[in-house]
Structure 1
Amino acid sequence: MTSFWALTRAQWFGFWRDKQNWFWLLAFPLMFLVLFGFLFRDAGASKSSLTQIGSVAIIDQLPAEAKAQFDNLFEVTKTDDAAAALEEVRKGDVDGAVEQKGNEVILHYSQADQVKAATVRGTLGAFVDGANVAMSGQPPTFTLKAEAAEDDSLKPIQFIAPGLLGWAVAMGATFNAAMPFVTWRTNKLLRRLRLAPMRTESLVSSRLLVSIAVAMIQMGVFLAVGVGLFDLKLTGSWWMAIPLLLCATIAFMAIGLIAGAISKTAEAASGIANVIILPMAFLSGSFIPLDQAPSWLQTIAKFLPLGQLNEGLLDSLVRGEGPGAALMPMVYLLGFAVVFGLIAARLFRWED
């Protein structure tokens, strides 16, 4: 135990004396949180751009209440030049162009963007249906009331912060294992430590303790900035993020140990760690939500350790779930840590 605490103390001070660690493991991921937080701070439902060709009675004669709803959904530009309006639609400058011939309302849209086309068709179709009902004087048999599953307090920061926190912790744990061990091996420090009365378990566990402490600091800084600067609201059993991040640190440190074991230089270890973590961050929804991603990509994310971590952080921090929501991701991460930890143990080398 004496050697364990001595190693832990030495590695802790060594970590903070290296200013690059401050940047890459704290300032760099925090920069993404601040950037995305400000970008999406006032994000709301975007309007569809619509060009009105000539007179369109269904738009011009809308009642005041319906006109207010229409203006919230569409940004309308009026023109009498039908050819120019259609050219704007083809170029993608506007989402659609609408004109009226007799009782027929014609919507021109581009097939190049199926999402925008479906949005404009569906929204404008609802107003046409409403006008038909008003003209017939017959009330509709069925009405639709759409409500968001989340309350009004759920802002983009609620989804941004957990994903970026997961990426920051994964990157920190991986690099905290990969870089030091390959450096110590190349400068012969590991050979000296091997000659001392010290077990391999003490060396690795002391580094793990430092990595866990760094992960807790990352969590504290991320949540403080999210809550204080962007009104991040912590719900449910948010404190379950602590044991979840602990399990994640163990899992990603196992990845880092493998990267350090198979690398001959610190640069190679850094490259391997980046090749593993960066694509995994995109595939796991750390930067881009996977709600609209193909089903096969969402399935892949469930098998990735960072995907499990992000899902567990979302459930714990912002979805209001109970403690049980984090248990399955924790079990998965610990199982991942066992398998890859055993591989790292087989590959571990004291010297080149």
Structure 2
Amino acid sequence: MNGFMALARAQWKGFWRDKQNWFWLMAFPLMFLLLFGFLLRDAGASKNTLTQIGSVAIIDQLPPEAKTQFDNLFDVTKTTDAAAAVESVRKGDVDAAVEQRGNEVILHYSQADQVNAARVQGTLGAFVDAANVAISGKPPTFTLDAVAAEDNSLKPIQFIAPGLLGWAVAMGATFNAAMPFVTWRTNKLLRRIRLTPVRTESLVASRLLVSVAVALVQMVVFLAVGVGLFDLKLSGSWWMAIPLLVCATLAFMAIGLIAGAISRTAEAASGIANVIILPMAFLSGSFIPLDQAPPWLQTISKFLPLGQLNEGLLDTMVRGEGPGSAMMPMAALLGFAVVFGLIAARLFRWED
């Protein structure tokens, strides 16, 4: 126990004395949070761009309340040149163009962007249906009352912060395992430790303790910046992120031990760790939400440790899910930790 505590204290002091750790594991991830936070601070739902060709009665004669709703949905420009308007749609400069010939409303859209086309058709179709009801004087049989699942306080930071925190913790745990062990092996420090009464388990456990402490510091810093600068709102079970991060640290430290075991230099260990973590961050939605991603990519993210971590952080921190929502990601991360840990133990070397 004395050897374990001595190693833990020495590694904790060594971590904070290395200024590169301050930058790569603290300042660097925090820069992304600040960048995305400030860029998306005032982001809202984007409008569709619509070109109105000549006079369109259903738009020009909208009552004030409906006109306000229409302006919230469409950014309208007017023109009398129908050919130029259709060409702009074809080039993708605007989402659609609309004109009216008698009682017929004609919508020009591009098949190249079917998502925007469907949104414009559906929205404009609703206004046409409302105009028909107003003319006929007969109320519709069915009505739709659309209510948002989230309240008005939901902002992009709610989704940015958990993903970037997951990436920061994954990177910190991986590098905290890969870099020191390969450095200690090359400078013969591991060989000297082996000659002492300290067991291998104590050496790894002390490094794990330092990595968990660093992950918790990262969490505190991220939440302080998110809440203080960008009005991040945490759900009731946000504290479940703590055991979730501990399980994630176990999994990613095991990955780092594998990278350190198969590397002969610190530079090689750093390269291998980056090759593992950076693509995983993109595939797991750390930088870009996967809500609109293809189904196959969403499936892949579920089989990645960082994907499980990000999903668990989103559920517990911002989606308002209960503590039970973290159990499955925690179990998956512990499973990854066991598998990767066994591989790392098999590859572990005291000296080159």
Is the TM value for this pair above 0.5? Answer: yes
Cα distance in 1 between the residues matched to 2:319 and 2:64: 38
Residues 1-352 of structure 1 correspond to what in structure 2 (within 5 A)? 1-352=1-352
Residue 215 of structure 1 aligns to a residue whose secondary structure is: helix
Structure 1 runs of 4+ aligned residues shifted over 3 Å read: none
SS of match in other structure, 2:77: strand
What displacement does 1:278 show?
0.9
User: Deviation of residue 348 (structure 1)?
Assistant: 0.2
Instruction: Write out per-residue CA displacement over residues 261-291 of structure 1, whole angstroms, 9 at most, x where no aligned residue.
Output: 0011111111111111111111111111111
Letter in 2 for 1:205: A
- Alpha-carbon distance in structure 2 between the residues aligned to 1:321 and 1:60: 45
Aligned residue identity for 2:59: I
Q: Is the 8 A contact 1:173 1:252 kept in 2?
A: yes
Q: Distance in 1 between matches of 2:47 and 2:346?
A: 57
CA contact (8 A) 1:236 1:319 kept: no
Task: Flag structure 1 segments of 5+ consecutive residues without an equivalent.
Answer: none
| Deviation at residue 143 of structure 1 after TM alignment | 0.8
Q: Distance in 1 between matches of 2:175 and 2:229?
A: 28
The size of the alignment, in residue pairs, is: 352
* SS of corresponding position for 2:22: helix
Deviation at 1:199, TM superposition (A): 1.0
Give the fraction of aligned pairs with identical amino acids, expressed as a percent. 87
Q: Deviations over 1:299-349 (max 9, x none)?
A: 111111111111111111111122111111111111111111011001000
Stretches of structure 2 that go unaligned for 5 or more consecutive residues are none
Shift of 1:243: 0.8
Q: How far, CA to CA, are the matches of 2:335 and 2:64 in structure 1?
A: 60
Secondary structure of the equivalent of 1:148? Answer: coil
The amino acid that maps onto 1:212 is: V
SS in 2 for 1:173: helix
CA distance in 2, matches of 1:40, 1:146: 25
| Structure-1 separation of matches of 2:205 and 2:48 | 56
Q: Kindly provide the amino acid, as one letter, of the partner of residue 189 in structure 1.
A: L
Q: Superposition RMSD on alpha carbons, in Å? A: 0.9
